[in-house]
Amino acid sequence: MPKYEVSAEIVLRTYITPHGYFVLDSDVEDFEDESSWGEETIVQDGGSISFVFETDAEDVGDAAAMLLQDNLMFQGDDFEWEFESITITDVEEVEVPMTRGRAVEILRAYLVRPSEANAEDLRKAIEFLLAFMAARPHLTTPPVNQEVA
């Protein structure tokens, strides 16, 4: 399954209403606190994240957005922050380097379920293994039978 690196910009929102009362630490008479506070909306931009995930979805941007919508949380100070917006800014396929182990894994998966094989991955795995064997002829050449005197 292909891997993708995703970058996103995030804007947070919270609502603040002062909860409390005034105290005058002095010797006065008839002190009254008649304060009435309204709610204030605070919006903060500047959130920036990136991550790598695997998907075989046709629309990788939508898959990344759903992943964030279902799983992203903001943890921090004492305020409860909501997401004002989450914007996917970049999606790039990550080229996973071919290794002998990965090539063998791809070939084994093909042998078990040929219909589910990714043709491009299979081609790269075969090319890698052929190049690997060509560079090491001693691994592919059968030993010469020697007569014992």
- The last residue of one of the domains, among 75, 94, 113, is 94
Looking at residue 97, its amino acid is P
- What is the domain range of residue 51? 3-19+34-94
Task: Count Cα neighbours of 68 within 13 Å in the Cβ-side half-sphere.
Answer: 22
Residue 147 is assigned to a structural domain of this protein: no
Q: What is the pLDDT of residue 140?
A: 63
Give the pLDDT means over successive 10-residue stretches in the chain (149 positions): 91 92 88 90 96 91 92 87 95 90 93 90 92 80 61
pTM of the full structure: 0.62
26: alpha, beta or left? (left if phi > 0; alpha if psi -120 to 50)? beta
Sheet with 40-54, edge to edge strand ranges: 40-54, 3-16, 82-94
Per-residue b or e along 77-87, where b marks 16 or more CB atoms closer than 10 Å to that residue's CB: eeeebeeeebe
Residues 87 and 113 in one domain: no
